[in-house]
Structure 1
Amino acid sequence: MINLVLVVMSAFIIWGFGFENVGWVILVCSIGVLVGFLGLPSYQYCLSSEWVGVDEMSLLMVILCVLVTMISVVSSCKDVKVSELSLVGGFNIVEMVGLVCGGSLLFFQSCSWMDFYFFFEFSLIPTFFLILKWGYRPERLQAASYMIIYTVSSSLPLLMGLVWFWDYVGSDNMLLVSMVSGLSGGNLEWPWLVMSLGFIVKLPVYGVHGWLPKAHVEAPLSGSMLLSGILLKFGGYGMVRFIWFADICFSKYTQLVLVVSMWGGVLSGVICLCQSDLKSLIAYSSIGHMAMSLGGLMTFYGVGKMACVCMLFAHGLCSPILFSLAASCYDICGSRNVLLTKGVLRVFPLFSGLWFLFCVLNMGVPPSLNFYSEIFCVGSLLWGNISFGVLGGMMCFIGGCYCLVLYSLVNHGSPSANVDSYVSLSSRYVYSSIFVMFFLLAGGFFIDMFFL
């Protein structure tokens, strides 16, 4: 499995640094990686070493991290070329992306919750520099500051709680604490609610989401792809791990988080219908999808947890490509305003086809992974309470509405005067999109490999 991942990574890196006409290599390697999912070991959480603990979910998140990093480097052709002359302390943008990927890989495999917390926050540092140095507008300083203030301040209660747990149990090993039920003796309802703020802000849930649209709008393409594909998954993965080793059960406090996240998802979907900026619209759609995944997890049903993991993976591949397509629109039209990018279908039919495919994937068309994750999330919400199921259905319906609106506004109508028909569409965007599309569509036929 690792060899297959390395083959795909090598192919992307070779292609990303100048070799042409190897799109077929990417497709062949994608088939190999997908078949490699059949080789995922079927076991519960176990220790590979003193520092690393893995299970099927950890491996799935590691694979997601590697894939998103590859497509972000390949798609960011303009930033990579400029970065040869744009260094921050000796680092260019590719190395910053590598730092984010390395910190994320260590986070997803940490077996100690203190290491878990350290790498939970570490990836913010290279992301901060990505936004600050390679952002496009002067507001990038405010966006980077918002991200740091929101995430660090909300994770301080999490740090205090984890230190207290370490003193209470005498160990910070997740597997050991889960096996001996070391945290189940006390009342963890209020402490859990306060400590979960660190994960809720990283998702983020509506209400503490103010940093995300700002960060997405001001970040370069690679920064937006990493934020939506990897860093937003920290909150969901952390919540799954924390509930597991702390032995959290359904209570009025978890129900409060469920209600807030579901209503927030509905509101973020309504906001998407009113957005004029492409990157803001995609960012708010991410808030809605993360709310749906958190809702499935907070029902505390096994199918809800499995659907949550599947949605994390599916959204982690779909959303970065939407940001890549938005960057293509900016290259073609010089604007991200949906009213100034009309009529792309007449000028770039292939590009319009990619927009259509990923808009319908984002709204959950069968037999994609997005479809199965949404269906099972709504099913687990219906088992919990019919009111939650209604909210989940509203989120799916509104999601379909804004995806159709997004596609129709960008692609249909008379071509805007801003559309430059002499701009050539980069093959990097096309092959990256086809690569991800294969995973999302073909992955539906191997759904048991993603429902962990």
Structure 2
Amino acid sequence: MVGVSTVLLGFGVENIGWVILVCGMSLLAGMLFFSNFNYALLSEWEGMDEMGVLMVGLSILVMMISLVSSCKDVKSEGGSMAGGFFISEMVGLVCLGSLLFFRACSWMDFYFFFEFTLVPTFFLILKWGYRPERLQAATYMVIYTVGSSLPLLMGLMWAWFMTGSDNMLLVKAAGGLFSMDMKWPWLFMSLGFIVKLPVYGVHGWLPKAHVEAPLSGSMLLAGVLLKFGGYGIIRFMWFSEISPSSVTYFVLVVAMWGGMISGMVCLCQSDMKSLIAYSSIGHMAMSMGSLLSFFSVGKMSCVCMMFAHGLCSPILFSLAASCYDTCSSRNVLLTKGVLRVFPMFSTFWFIFCILNMGVPPSLNFYSEIFCVGSLVWTDFLLGVLAGAMCLIGGCYCLVLYGLVSHGGFTYMSNSCPNLSTRYVYSALFITLLLVSGGFYLDLFIV
């Protein structure tokens, strides 16, 4: 990844748009080619299906836009690249671990790469965080995720001993992992994924990690690492043949009410990064609820929402970082009035705020519609709750845009002629992908 950052800096920001365009079109061509096949083994330890291809594509896209948007962090003072090598290597390790995680067909490799990405993320926060509290934030992240995944490790080792194999496809073909009542053991084994998602109540590490992380760390957390939880639960339910039960409905209800609470918390937030982090909790709660409805459309809408959110949320963090560059603050009351001075900046804020709230014909809109539909089929009251979550999501997105764009321009602002081209090209490409994706739903509803 040192080579990637060197190439990006050597091209210059005026040519970054071509880098994004070429890489993005190549990736989309690959997704079109591999879009219609069932789960298949590529080797004895890796396998892929449509969902895996989609998540691999998401990882590459988020890594690409995080490196482009973090060019200022990659450059160190005096023109030296020594500090930049470190951050680009950490981003590369996170992306490598993500690719291997989404391709693993052995559940022990699956677990290893699930935990492996914690190490580079920990160092990203610890070395490149902005405030002294970064050590506490990184420690919270490690304790929450590692502690909650220990029951999963014990359960997977027991399953390996009982079945004689750790291959997901082989166990799936043999009829599933569990032949007994595994209601509460399923909950404890899924706890690592629930914390990684995260569901409200075990989310304490996420806002702290986002606030203290550098821009690339926040983009990777929101775009890729949170998707580990949803992808892990889908895979675990797939090869273990879990059926609906009182325990799964309990998790569904807790997740939905947690999403409602996190949406209300967003309305009270003054820190932009905290607001975007809590909005991620709400979106992931809705995807979790639709998945646990056990309808096919619920699982497909869960995957689509993870992909759409994985592209939209990193750009929101990128825009928040640009606000910090301009105003030296992330407080929404101190960064207001950008519409007067930076109309293009305000335009991108508007675009991604309405994408985050699910404007048609974007992927976010279709994923929310199908999520609400699957929950209505499960229980009408859950559908009402999901609709209320969408309404609250629209409220805090409009509040965020109104506070940032309108009002008098703050005296704390630095002299800045316009929005940096690295943010413009990243935001423009992701906008085109999310809006045009609604016309090719067969690639994303998998």
**TM bracket (short chain):** over 0.9
1:256 CA drift (Å): 0.5
Alignment of 1:159-178 (within 5 A): 159-178=153-172
Distance 1:41 1:34, change over 3 A: closer
TM-score where L is the length of structure 1: 0.95
Q: Please report how far the alpha carbon of residue 42 of structure 1 lies from its aligned counterpart in structure 2 after TM superposition.
A: 1.6
Matches for 1:271-282 after TM superposition, within 5 Å: 271-282=265-276
Q: Does 1:315 align with 2:303?
A: no
Matched, 1:333 2:324: no
In structure 1, the partner of 2:202 is 208
- Structure 1 residues 394 and 17, CA gap change in structure 2 (3 angstroms): farther
User: Per-residue deviation at 1:184?
Assistant: 3.5
| Alignment gaps of 5+ in structure 2 | none
Residue in 1 aligned with 2:151?
A: 157
Match of residue 12 from structure 2: 19
**Comparing 36-45 and 237-246, the one that deviates more:** 36-45
Provide the rounded CA distance (Å) in 2 between the counterparts of 1:434 and 1:11: 21
**1:190 CA drift (Å):** 1.3
* AA in 2 matched with 1:177: V
Counterpart for residue 234 of structure 2 = 240
Per-residue deviation, 1:156:
0.3
1:391-406, aligned counterparts within 5 Å? 391-406=385-400
Aligned-partner Cα distance in 2 for 1:165–1:271: 40
Secondary structure of the 1:339 match is coil
Cα offset, 1:435, TM superposition:
1.1
**Residue 43 of structure 2 aligns to which amino acid in structure 1?**
S
Note the alpha carbon deviations across 1:250-287, whole angstroms, 9 max, x for none.
10000000000000000000000000000000000000
Deviation at 1:51, TM superposition (A): 1.1
* Structure 1 contact 112–172 (Cα < 8 Å) conserved: yes
2:92 alignment partner in structure 1: 98
Measured after TM superposition, the shift of residue 402 of structure 1 is: 0.2
- Please say if 1:294 is aligned against 2:294: no
**Distance in 1 (alpha carbons) for counterparts of 2:252 and 2:306:** 17
Structure 1 residue ranges, 4+ long, deviating more than 4 angstroms after superposition: 10-13, 83-88
Provide closer, same or farther for how the CA distance between residues 340 and 41 of structure 1 changes in structure 2, counting only shifts above 3 A. closer
> Please, what TM-score do these two structures have when normalized by structure 2?
0.96
* Residues 13-54 of structure 1 deviation map (CA, whole Å, 9 limit, x = unaligned): 733444343225534654454354332242221111011111
The amino acid that maps onto 1:173 is N
Q: Which shows bigger deviation, 128-137 or 416-425?
A: 416-425
Q: Is the 8 A contact 2:342 2:418 kept in 1?
A: no
Corresponding residue number in structure 2 for 1:63 = 57
The whole-number CA distance in structure 1 between the counterparts of 2:199 and 2:80 is 38
How big is the alpha-carbon RMSD for the aligned residues of Structure 1 and Structure 2?
A: 2.0
Task: State which of 376, 385, 400 in structure 2 corresponds to 1:382.
Answer: 376
Residue number in structure 2 paired with 1:305? 299
Q: Is the 8 A contact 2:206 2:277 kept in 1?
A: yes
Q: What displacement does 1:414 show?
A: 1.1
CA distance in 2, matches of 1:182, 1:286: 32
Query: In 2, distance between residues paired with 1:423 and 1:162?
Result: 55
Instruction: Confirm or deny that 1:124 pairs with 2:118.
Output: yes
Q: Within 2, Cα distance between the matches of 1:11 and 1:93?
A: 12
Residue in 2 that maps onto 1:432: 426
Residues 30, 439 of structure 1: 8 Å contact kept:
no
Pair 1:142 & 2:142 matched: no
Residues 295-346 of structure 1 show CA distances to partners (whole Å, capped at 9, x for unaligned) of: 1100000000000000010000000000000000000001000000010011
8 A Cα contact 2:175 2:241, kept in partner: yes
CA distance in 2, matches of 1:38, 1:296: 26
